Amino acid sequence: MNTNLDSIKVDRPEIITTDVDAISFYRKMDIKATVKDMIAGRYVIAEEFYSNGLLILGELKKRLSFKYTDKSFRGQREYRNAFRKASHRLLIKVKDNKLAVKKAPKVGWLELLYPDVSEFYVSFPDVQGMNSSWQWYEKGLEVKTLDITLKPYFGTYFPTRFDHLKLFDRYLKKYDGPKDNVIEIGVGSGILSFQLIQNGFDNIYATDSNKNAVIGVNEETKRLGYEDKITLNHGDLFENCDVNADLIVFNPPWIKAKHKLEEGIDKAMYYEEELFPRFFEQAAQHLKPDGKIVLIFSNLAQVVGEDSTNPIIEELRNNGRFRKDLHLTREVRASSRRTKREDNRKNEKVELWVLAPKKK
């Protein structure tokens, strides 16, 4: 089987390895003037203390919120875009894989993602992203349904609520079909594949279009001792896959994109119009005659006011390839007592769909 694990390179934040024409910011300097320059297009380097970078971002937020007063969805999107653009002009220096300022957090990704460069500049927001990802990676994500602590790799989707895993678990516990071959599309941080393994599937072909997901799950399978149970591949949907499966599992993105999708985590949340038609067409070619497709979905799009239709219902209604074998739903609970979900998400439900090919 074709797997391309050795040839893929990790996606990491962009860095600058040359000298930069920039203003060096120290605490006693005029922060307002510095931020004004940054908005006008100049690079700024946060020097001396990590908190200097935080101060600048705070001031930038304040200044832009005076300018972007339109509270409509569009107005707020313009504000976010302006913040994103200007904040990435704030740089911080990395030397010997560490942030070269005082009182900085230890960000292990600087070592793991940049073993080949010893000195460079990286944008402050990118460092914040790496820092938060590193905390999750270090601490691990405890998944009680699996009795596993996952270490989500940088730039990879991982769930923070587990209702869909409980639904999948319920399905797997009752599943009494053959367990010879299973394909998981969109492996993410590996959670569903590990759940399949714990339920007796030991020949899993797992794939993702996000390189970091594939690299991360490869690490995890070694750490958890699942190496010989999963074959990993980087690619779009069933690209490189020559397996015919008893089960095809996909927890796809749940919201239809209105923007052009970026590679990486964006594609874990949002889908392009053609994703589902392409998935179903290819799935039909990779399913054994008695095989099943298991899809995890949600009414999230409807709950947050998007007017999109459910692409699984569309497939069942329009194409005559599959019939509905099972449809389970479960209410989504708030992730903890402290983080109450906003009201408009209180009717959120996760769904598990099982589709079987129609007999000819």
Ligand X SMILES: C[S@@+](CC[C@H](N)C(=O)[O-])C[C@H]1O[C@@H](n2cnc3c(N)ncnc32)[C@H](O)[C@@H]1O
Q: Which residues from 281-320 bind ligand X, rule CB under 6 A?
A: none
Asked if 151 touches ligand X (CB under 6 A), the answer is no
Cα–Cα separations (whole angstroms), residue 174 to 269, 293, 296 = 29, 15, 17
Q: For the residues of 21-60, what is the DSSP string, one character each?
A: -EEEE-TTS-HHHHHHHHHTT-EEEE-SBHHHHHHHHHHH
Asked if 48 touches ligand X (CB under 6 A), the answer is no
Interface mask toward ligand X for 168-207; x: CB under 6 A: -----------------xxxxx-xx--------------x
Q: CA–CA separation, 23 vs 75, rounded Å?
A: 30
Nearer to ligand X among residue 113 and residue 213 (C-beta): 213
Asked if 332 touches ligand X (CB under 6 A), the answer is no
Interface mask toward ligand X for 64-103; x: CB under 6 A: ----------------------------------------
> Does residue 292 contact residue 322 with C-beta atoms inside 8 Å?
no
Buried b (16+ CB within 10 A) or exposed e, 301-337: beeeeeeeebbbeebbeeeebbeeeeeeeeebeeeee
**DSSP reduced 3-state for 108:** coil
Beta bridge partners of 99: 94
- How long, in residues, is the chain? 360
Asked if 159 touches ligand X (CB under 6 A), the answer is yes
Give the position of tokens 């993602």. 113
Asked if 13 touches ligand X (CB under 6 A), the answer is no
Nearer to ligand X among residue 53 and residue 188 (C-beta): 188
Closest to 182 in 3D by CA, of 252, 250, 251, 246: 246
Nearer to ligand X among residue 231 and residue 251 (C-beta): 251
Binding residue for ligand X, selected from 152, 253, 311, 357, defined by CB under 6 A = 253
Nearer to ligand X among residue 138 and residue 239 (C-beta): 239
Nearer to ligand X among residue 38 and residue 150 (C-beta): 150
Asked if 268 touches ligand X (CB under 6 A), the answer is yes
Where along the sequence are the contacts to ligand X (CB under 6 A)? 157, 159, 185-189, 191-192, 207-210, 213, 236-237, 251-253, 267-268, 275
